[in-house]
Amino acid sequence: KGIYYTDFWKWWLFYPWLFLMLMVVSLAFISRDLERIADPRLGKK
């Protein structure tokens, strides 16, 4: 039997995608905050 005959493939794909999504979101927040620190004009809205 292959991996696709069971429900295990869903979990095999879930954790890498979850990790990638968390990395992208966290890098977006970090870069936004670093941009505000580097350019003080952005923080004065």
Q: What is the pLDDT of residues 1-45, one digit of tens each?
A: 566 677 777 778 889 999 999 999 999 999 999 998 888 887 665
Domain assignment present for 23: yes
Query: What is residue 24's three-state secondary structure?
Result: helix
In angstroms, the Cα distances linking 16 to 1, 4, 5, 41 are: 23, 17, 20, 38
Task: Give the range of the structural domain holding residue 8, as residue numbers without chain letter.
Answer: 3-39
The number of distinct structural domains making up the chain is 1
Whole-number pLDDT of residue 27: 98
Predicted pLDDT of residue 26: 98
Assigned domain for 7 exists: yes
The answer as to whether 45 is a domain residue is no
- Pull the structure tokens for residue 37: 């620190």
